[in-house]
Amino acid sequence: MIDVAPKSLTDFEAIPREGTRTKPGKGRLLAMPLVAMLLGSAGWYGLTQFEGSHAAVAVAGPVPDVTVATPATRDVDVRLTGLGQFSAIDRVELRAQVGGTLTEIHFKDGDIVRKGDLLFVIDPRPYEIKLAQAKAMVETAKARLGLADSQLARSQSLARSQFATQETLDQRVNEQSAARAAIDDAEARVRDAKLDLEYTRVTAPFSGRLGARQVSLGGLIAGSRAAASATTLLATIVSLDPIYLDFDMSEQDWIKFQRSRDQKQPLAKTVTASLSDEAGFDRQGKLDFVDNVMNRSSGTIHARATYANPDLFLSPGQFARVRVALSKPAPALLVPDAAVLPDQSDSVVMTVGDDDVVTPKKVEVGDLRDGLRVIRAGLTPTDRVIVDGIVRARPGTKVSAKLATVAVAPAQN
């Protein structure tokens, strides 16, 4: 009996069955996939063992260090904040109402002027001639009235003696009435000529600041009292004291404002403002106007406050930060603004419990106060909030917490 037991897997595959014929090398080709499967399984097992040991090393690594602090407490009020822009209460384009040659300019560009100050002079001589003609027409009309009075008196005397007909008497009465009307017309022409002569002197309609002049000496000025579009623009003037501060409130802010204000009192709220180089909100104005409709495209409503500007420091077009107080100061919690994380439409802070495990908490935030974020709801005074190292903290993991204190500046108006 011949021993045909295979010495290896390759040899087993290479043994031909009885009654069959095999091609050279076929056994080796059939063995190769099986060998590859065995090697792949061994490699996968080794990789799994490596990853397991690596994960075990990672878990056993150092606990991340973070800094935590309890929220600070301070009395703060509920307020609306935004950006506003100053605008002039009065703004006028100075246009000529009579035509002629510009002969005098009595200001420099950008000057502060008072109401009634002389600014421009248009050649008055043609209008002085027109006024003299109108006055002469008044004297002529008065002379005609005197003649008509004399003729009427004579006709009335003759009519009593029956030497004048009634027709003649009626004619003299009508002539007297026409003479009186002619006087009224001539006097109206005198007033019109005087008005034109006054318009040759362009004065400031109110106190304010002038812009750059748009004409030069000797220029021909087109003027008309009827059509402003056909007149020459001389300059612009804006009022400065008092001055408006215009700003917009979002729909959400408008709802808060409506719910907080006292309905028993008129709309008279204090609006504080601060310029770009000012730290405090020391400028106080009076909210005197809120529009009657919400802007559908922007979802805001327009509001306006009035500010005194005796030193004329504020200028139309200037921007300022705006605050509108909605309630009296009340205790509130504050945390560093960097500790508040956005979460879609919500805000969260990372807290550390007694077991040193990180737990996120959803909070309702307010505005910024001296670099600190006001927390309206969601936190307690004893919560330990992560204020530093928040990038190393993961919810549900343990951390090494170091306690710190939130520095709070004194309350400001």
- Give tens-digit pLDDT for 27-58: 443 344 443 443 443 443 343 443 444 444 44
Highest mean pLDDT among 164-173, 251-260, 284-293, 360-369: 284-293
Which H/E stretch holds residue 30?
A: helix 26-59
Cα separation, 370 vs 354, in Å, equals 30
Average pLDDT value over all residues in the chain: 80
User: Does 300 fall in a domain?
Assistant: yes
Q: Domain ends where: 238, 269, 291?
A: 238
234 has a pLDDT exceeding 80: yes
**Residue reference for tokens 């805000």:** 347
Angstrom distance (rounded) from CA 244 to CA 374: 30
Question: Is residue 144 in some structural domain?
Answer: yes
- Which domain range does residue 302 map to? 80-88+242-325
- The answer to whether residue 17 sits within a structural domain is no
Q: Alpha-carbon distance 181 to 220, whole Å?
A: 37
Whether 229 and 283 map to the same domain: the answer is no
Give me the CATH number covering residue 163.
2.40.50.100
Q: How far is CA 119 from CA 94, 95, 103, 111, 178, in A?
A: 10, 12, 11, 11, 43
Are residues 234 and 246 part of one domain?
Answer: no
pLDDT digits (tens, 9 = 90+) for 278-301: 888 889 999 989 999 999 899 999
User: Quick one: tokens of 225?
Assistant: 């009292």
Structure letter (DSSP) for residue 392: G
**Residue 2 covered by a domain:** no
pLDDT exceeds cutoff 60 at 19: no
Report whether pLDDT(252) > 70: yes
- Residues 162 and 101 both lie in one domain: yes
Give the largest CA-CA distance in the chain. Answer: 189
- Looking at the structure of the chain, the number of domains it has is 3
Task: Average the pLDDT over 169-183 and give the result.
Answer: 79
Q: For residue 211, what pLDDT is reported?
A: 93
Q: How far is 273 from 369, CA to CA, in rounded Å?
A: 15
- Tell me, what DSSP letter sits at residue 228? G
Read off the pLDDT of residues 354-381 as tens digits, 9 standing for 90 and up. 888 999 999 988 878 877 888 888 888 8
Are residue 306 and residue 341 in the same domain, yes or no?
Answer: no
Sign of CA dihedral 128, 129, 130, 132: positive
